[in-house]
Amino acid sequence: MVIRPLLLLGALVLPVVLACATDSCASAFTASAAAAITFCETYTTATVTATTSLPPFATACSNSSKKLSSACTCLLGTAASGTVATTTCTATAYAQITSAVASCTDIVLENISAPVSSTIDLTGLRAGSTVTFAGTTFKTFGTTEDSDFNPIEIGGTAITITGAPGHVIDGNGQAYWDGQGSNGGSSKSVISLLGDRQGTIKLIRIARPDHFIVLNKMVAGTIKDLSIQNWPVHCFDITKCNVMTLSGLTLNNSAGDAVNSISQGLPAAHNSDGFDISSTTNLVLADSTVINQDDCVAVTSGTNITVTGMTCSGGHGLSIGSVGGKSDNTVAGVTFSDSTISNSQNGCRIKTNSGTTGNITNIVYEDITLSNISIYGIDVQQDYLNGGPTGDPTNGVIIDGVTFTNVVGTALPNATDYYVLCGSGSCSGITFTDVNITGGGVGSSCNFPSTGCP
């Protein structure tokens, strides 16, 4: 591992110790993360740390310079409160990653193969760090019987994750795909029969991670220009994050379309969601491509989320849900725009779990082009179960304010152009403007609004 130090000097302000998760001052900074980071970058490097003319979120700190400095430390990490050594590291082996994360703020991970059951742990990154994947990074994660590990975990404040030209992150999905995804067997494992050298049959249990890349509690993060292929199940799990930008990502799971020896005639990859978003606020996902066998994007909870410029192929479309029966069941202020969905089961989809409660409000689908949709062009259903819809909608999840504008395209002859199945009194404010989906040979059905399908 190569380390090149560069010393950055900042004002040394002795902070008081705040409980970052519970203190009102620190919490106010986290709630206004984008503005607070800009403030902290200036405040913690100033020669004189003034306590006048402060931004609104800083009023919770009682005009105390020590509390302000400590809140910045909570937001930005220890780098905010003193002299920081900034270094560049290149790690070329898995064993070097821990040291690089601890020592450096500019990290290159090059041609790394992760051992069996080993997580690439980037949760301890210093505030403001950049990590660049280079080469044929993570060509294999090895097979494992441990279904609890996540191959890549990322956390921190003001972190940038990017890729060098020509890089690839490969999840070795072929070692796990069985046509069942996360539904397979007990503890997400599958039993396959393999002949040994003596020609007898033995049982091999293959577990698989539930998500490939986990972004957890990131603040003001940037994920950009990554090329990812062959993930086992659920590529990105984005949870409890705030102020995030993801752009220029290429997710290609097309190899999972093929049948293999244990998928029983089904495409080998299953539950291969591109982006799963939950309990996250202020996120933009833009200008990215997903080729997969499940949801292109699925928002199950969160607020103020924009998904734009997406190219989705082969999967289940742009989805809200499923909502209900989870720890967080509120989705508000989500916009899907300027995107194409092709060769997919669904186009625009909202699904709520049968017999559960929750709220879905202010959802926008606009300027969406569909082609070769095989099940539903537009789908809103309140009878969802993972094993299949019940046909009997329930009304515990409230859907209020959904607009479809300029959603156009084609469905296949065995598909349905429009399907809306709301529970009694649980849907309101669903509108269609300049919506035109054609080609579906199975009759459309909409029990809401009262005017019927578009």
Please name the helix (run of DSSP H) or strand (run of DSSP E) that holds residue 34, with its range, or none.
helix 33-43
Catalytic residue among 167, 211, 234, 316: 316
Amino acid, res. 21: A
Cis ω before 147 (30° cut-off from 0): no
CB 103 within 8 A of CB 126: no
Fill in the DSSP letter of residue 45: T
Beta strands in 29-155 (DSSP E): 84-91, 106-110, 120-122, 130-134, 152-154
Amino acid, res. 196: D
CA distances from 76 to 29, 81, 128, 157, 158 (A): 10, 9, 8, 6, 7
Residue 211 annotated as catalytic: no
Amino acid, res. 111: N
Burial class (CB in 10 A: 0-12, 13-18, 19+), 250: middle
Scan for tokens 């591992």, then name that residue. 1
Backbone angles phi, psi at 254, to 5 degrees: -65, -25
Biggest CA-to-CA distance, the chain: 80
Q: Tell me, rounded to whole angstroms, the distance of Cα 249 from its chain centroid.
A: 12
Which positions are catalytic?
A: 316
